[in-house]
Structure formats: C-alpha cells, structure tokens
C-alpha cells in the first residue's frame, strides 16, 4: 500500500521590545559574490558551497575578539560583532536522471528590508536508477552580540529614537536547515539572512524554507526529508551608567520535523526576526 505523507508547517519567531538585534553597518569597501549553477544530466553529480563571515566594529578588530570591547569605532555605541555561515552539500550515488539549479548571492553592503546579505535558492529533480539516491543538506546560521548603545546613534527615524534611549546588550543566535535522502526527488529550498544594514531601522532576519512535492502528478518523492530550527536569545534591559550588564531574559527554542516514505508534500517555512521597537531607559530606576 502506498504511504502518503503530507506535512505543512509554518514557523515564525519574532522578537521585539527588549529583544534587540541592532545589526551592524558595512565596512567602507564592500563586495559581492554571485554564482549560478545548472546541471541537466544522466549519471551522478556532486556540489558543495560554504561561506563563513565575521564582521565587527570593535575598535581593535576581529583579531582581538574575544573579548568584545565596550566601545565601537565611533565611540558613541557599544561594540557589535556578527557571525554568519551558510553551507550546502549535495551528492548523488549511482546513476540517475538529474536536474539541478542553484542561485547563490552574497552582498556585503548594507541591506534594507526585503534585501539579503546571503541569499540561496536551490531546486533538485532526481530519479534514481536501480536504487540510486540523492542526498542534499542546507544550513544557515547567524550570531550577533553587542554592548549597550544609544538609539539615536543607530536609528534614522527620530520618532523611534528619543534622545538618550538605549539599545540593550544582547547575544542572540539562530540557525535553520534541512536534509533530504531520496531515490525520487522534487525539492526546492531557500536560505537567506540580513544583518549588515545602514541603520537599525530594519530587522535582523534569517529564513530557511524547504518544499518537497510530487515529481509529476501521482508520482511522489520517495525517501526521507527533515528540517530544523534552533534559536537562543539572551538580552539585557538596556540600562547604562553604573548599572552593569545583566542577563534580563533568556529564550531557547528548537523544532525538528521529519518525514519518510512516499511524500506528496513536505513543506516547512522557518523565520527569525529581531528588532528593537521600544528602546529602554538610560539608567536603572
């Protein structure tokens, strides 16, 4: 008997108020990396991508972090550091009918809402011969940390940054990814994030989506698919002056979804967003 598995999951984690990823401004010289890959073949194939990115405005630079300095380059805000990574590893074994398309874009300049620093789109159609399989894994990760900083030095909108209001210290990270192992596959994944921004008027975001569906009508994808998301939030309240940095809030989140068999639809949408919407007071009451 044919097993049909239908899973549709939409996951969104929005952090605001005291949860305050500020993002980080770009360095003066910016770069772009773009690749486009198309494979249409009978046989086997392999492809791998890896990106590691670290950026800080600590006045002593990356080589001296840790520890993170309490003052950034402009001297008016706490130092900020962000780390982001993206990996994809796809390989087939045996002989199969292959259709593979991948668009990958890295932009180190400041990006606003709707634009991305890392953006990857991948589509795979595969039919294995005599048990041949395709295995594909994607992961995207972002980690940011900073000391307190005055909001008016970080936000353009004057209504969002009253004088002397503060972005609190934070140490937040989020990661998401997916894996498929299939003899018949029709798969689409997207991965993107934004953390380098001209100002903190825009949220820090991370997204990873996977959709596994029928290859053609009444021919499901066959094999296994899984997807996960993990988030850790650690926040201060944004007090400055004699009050030391203290941990005011901690949130841990994780979720994993798997399916194995004849898959008509497996879809998981994962979204992380963090933006300060109400800057805190300058000093403790």
- From the list 231, 232, 245, 252, the residue with the least C-alpha distance to 280 is 245
DSSP helix/strand/coil, 152: helix
Is the pLDDT reported for residue 281 higher than 80? no
pTM reported for the whole predicted model: 0.88
The mean pLDDT value of the chain amounts to: 85
Q: Give the Cα separation of 107 and 116 in Å (integer).
A: 7
Is the pLDDT reported for residue 5 higher than 90? no
Residue ranges of the domains in the chain?
4-274
**pLDDT for the residue numbered 89:** 98
- pLDDT-derived band at 17 (thresholds 50, 70, 90) equals very low
What is the number of residues in the chain? Answer: 285
Which whole-number Å values give the CA distances from 42 to 90, 124, 131, 183, 219, in the listed order? 16, 13, 14, 14, 19
Is the pLDDT reported for residue 1 higher than 50? no
Is the pLDDT reported for residue 165 higher than 70? no
């Amino acid at each position: 008997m044919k097993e049909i598995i239908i899973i549709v999951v939409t996951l969104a984690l929005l952090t605001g108020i005291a949860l305050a990823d500020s993002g980080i401004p770009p360095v003066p010289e910016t770069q772009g990396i773009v690749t486009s890959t198309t494979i249409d073949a009978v046989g086997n194939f392999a492809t791998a991508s890896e990106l590691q990115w670290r950026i800080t405005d600590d006045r002593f630079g990356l080589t001296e972090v840790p520890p993170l300095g309490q003052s950034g380059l402009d001297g008016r805000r706490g130092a900020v550091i962000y780390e982001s990574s993206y990996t994809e590893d796809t390989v087939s074994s045996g002989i199969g009918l292959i259709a593979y398309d991948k668009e990958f874009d890295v932009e180190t300049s400041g990006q606003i809402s709707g634009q991305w620093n890392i953006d990857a789109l991948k589509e795979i159609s595969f039919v294995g011969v005599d048990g041949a399989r395709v295995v594909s894994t994607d992961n995207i990760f972002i980690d940011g940390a900073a000391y307190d900083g005055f909001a008016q030095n970080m936000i353009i909108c004057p209504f969002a940054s009253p004088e002397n209001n503060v972005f609190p210290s934070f140490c937040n990270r989020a990661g998401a990814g997916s894996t498929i192992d299939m003899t018949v596959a029709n798969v689409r994944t997207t991965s993107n994030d934004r953390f380098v921004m001209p100002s903190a008027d825009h949220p820090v975001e991370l997204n990873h989506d996977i959709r596994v569906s029928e290859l053609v009508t009444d021919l499901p994808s066959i094999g296994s698919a899984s997807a996960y998301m993990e988030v850790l939030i650690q926040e201060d309240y944004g007090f400055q002056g004699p009050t030391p940095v203290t941990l005011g809030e901690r949130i841990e989140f994780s979720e994993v979804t798997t399916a194995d068999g004849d898959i008509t639809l497996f879809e998981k949408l994962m979204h992380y967003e963090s933006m300060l919407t109400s800057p805190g007071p300058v000093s403790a009451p």
